[in-house]
Structure 1
Amino acid sequence: MARFSPLEWPVLRQFRSGDVSGRGPSVTSGKTRATKPRTATSDAVVKSVCPYCAVGCGQNVFVRDNKVVQIEGDPDSPISRGRLCPKGAASEQLVNSAGRVTDVLYRAPRAKDWQTLDLETATDMIADRLLEARRKHWQDTDENGSPLRRTMGIASLGGATIDNEENYLIKKLFTAAGAIQIENQARI
C-alpha cells in the first residue's frame, strides 16, 4: 500500500482541482475510481422477465463465463421501464445462492431423511398420484342425477412466484383433470 500524502487530502484536492463545492471527482477516493461495475465485464446481456409475480417486468441479465453476474431492470420494457421491485432486483441472488436446491428431493412417508430422485421418476410419481386421487374421488353426478364431472381429491394453491403464463397452464391442467378447488395466493 502506498504511503498517504497530505496533498491527497480531500480539501486540498478540492481547491487544486477547482471543485470547491466538493461534489466532483476531487472527493472520490482512489478505491472508488478503480471500482468497475459488474456489468462492464459481462460477455453477454440476455433479455428476460422477472420470475416473481405476474406483472412481467423486463430484466437485463448480464452473463460472464455462462454465469449470471448481475440482473437489472430493462429500460426497453414497456411494463417496468427499467425498474424492478426489491424482489426482482435481488433475483441474481435467487440464481447464484449457495443454498439453492437444484435436485429433486423426496421424503417417503414417515421417513426422517430426504433422498434425491431423478426428474423422470419424480414426474412419474406425481402423475400416478394425481391420477389415483382423481380416480378415487371422482364425482360423476350428484344425488339428483345432475352431472358434476369433478373430483374433490385434487386442489391447487398457486403462489406469488408463479407468473401469468404458468397460472394459465395450471388452471387449464387442473380444470381438465376435473379439479374445482383452484386458488391463488393473490385472491386469499
Structure 2
Amino acid sequence: MARFSVLGWPVFRQAKSKDKLGRGPAVESPKYANMRPRTEDADKVVQSVCPYCAVGCGQRIYVKDDEVIHIEGDPDSPISRGRLCPKGAASEQLVNTPSRQKTVLYRRPYGTDWEELDLETAMEMITDRFLEARRNHWEDFDEHGSPVNRTMGIASLGGATIDNEENYLIKKLFSAAGAVQIENQARI
C-alpha cells in the first residue's frame, strides 16, 4: 500500500498548478488516466427497442465481432431520451447469458424428459395443432342463432418481453384466425 502524502491531494495539485478552477489535470487521477470507454472497440452501433415492456424505450446496442458487448439507452429516442429502467439496462445479460436457451425443446405428453427438435419440425407441430384446435372448436352461430364466426379453442396471452409491434401482429393474427380470447400481461 502506498504511503499517504499531502502532495497527492487534488486541492494541493490545484493550488500548485495553473488549473485554478480544478477542472483539468489537477483533479485527474492516475488510476483513471489510462482507462478507455468499454464501447470504444465496437464494430458497429445498432439502434433497437427494449424488449421488456410496452413503453418502447430506445436502446443503442454495441456489437463487436457479431457479439453484443454493451447496451445503453438511446439519447435520440423521443420516448426514453437515453434512459433505461433496471431491466432495460440489464438486457445485455438477456442476450449473453450462458444459460440462454438456443434450441427448441419439446416434452411429449406424459414424458419426463425434454428432447431437442429442429425449428421446422416444431413450427409444423404448432401449425398443425393450431389449425386442428380452430377446426374442432369453430362456431358459426351462438346459442341465440346470432352469427359469431369464432373459435373458442384458441387463446393468446401476450407477454411484456415482446415489443408493441410484435404484440400488434399477434393480436391481428389471432383475430384473423377467429380467436376472441386475446389478452396481454401488461393489462392484467
How many residue pairs match? The answer is 185
SS at structure 2 position matched to 1:128: helix
**2:2 is the alignment partner of 1:16:** no
Q: How far apart, CA to CA, are the structure 1 residues paired with 2:14 and 2:143? A: 90
SS at structure 1 position matched to 2:71: strand
Q: How far apart, CA to CA, are the structure 2 residues paired with 1:169 and 1:88? A: 23
Question: Aligned in 2, Cα 1:120/1:10: closer, same or farther, shift over 3 Å?
Answer: same
Q: How far apart, CA to CA, are the structure 1 residues paired with 2:166 and 2:175? A: 14
Question: Aligned in 2, Cα 1:25/1:95: closer, same or farther, shift over 3 Å?
Answer: farther
- Residue in 1 that maps onto 2:168: 168
Q: How far apart, CA to CA, are the structure 2 residues paired with 1:70 and 1:184? A: 30
Q: How far apart, CA to CA, are the structure 2 residues paired with 1:4 and 1:25? A: 21
Root-mean-square deviation over aligned CA pairs: 2.5
- Residue in 2 that maps onto 1:4: 2
Mapping of residues 5-84 of structure 1, within 5 Å: 6-7=4-5, 10-11=8-9, 14-18=11-15, 29-84=29-84
Offset, 1:22 = 9.0
Offset, 1:134 = 0.9
- Residue in 2 that maps onto 1:155: 155
- Residue in 2 that maps onto 1:109: 109
Tell which deviates more after alignment, 95-104 or 21-30: 21-30
SS at structure 2 position matched to 1:109: coil
Q: How far apart, CA to CA, are the structure 1 residues paired with 2:116 and 2:7? A: 59
Instruction: Describe the superposition over 1:65-104 as per-residue Cα deviations: whole angstroms up to 9, x where unpaired.
Output: 2111111111111111111111111111111111111111
Question: Aligned in 2, Cα 1:76/1:181: closer, same or farther, shift over 3 Å?
Answer: same
Taking structure 1 as the reference length, what is the TM-score of the superposition? Answer: 0.86
**Aligned AA for 1:119?**
L
Taking structure 2 as the reference length, what is the TM-score of the superposition? Answer: 0.86
SS at structure 2 position matched to 1:122: helix
Question: Aligned in 2, Cα 1:113/1:31: closer, same or farther, shift over 3 Å?
Answer: farther
**2:137 is the alignment partner of 1:137:** yes
- Residue in 1 that maps onto 2:122: 122
Mapping of residues 169-184 of structure 1, within 5 Å: 169-184=169-184
Q: Is the 8 A contact 1:140 1:148 kept in 2?
A: yes
Instruction: Describe the superposition over 1:82-134 as per-residue Cα deviations: whole angstroms up to 9, x where unpaired.
Output: 11111111111111111111111111111111111111111100000101111
SS at structure 2 position matched to 1:41: coil
Q: How far apart, CA to CA, are the structure 2 residues paired with 1:99 and 1:25? A: 45
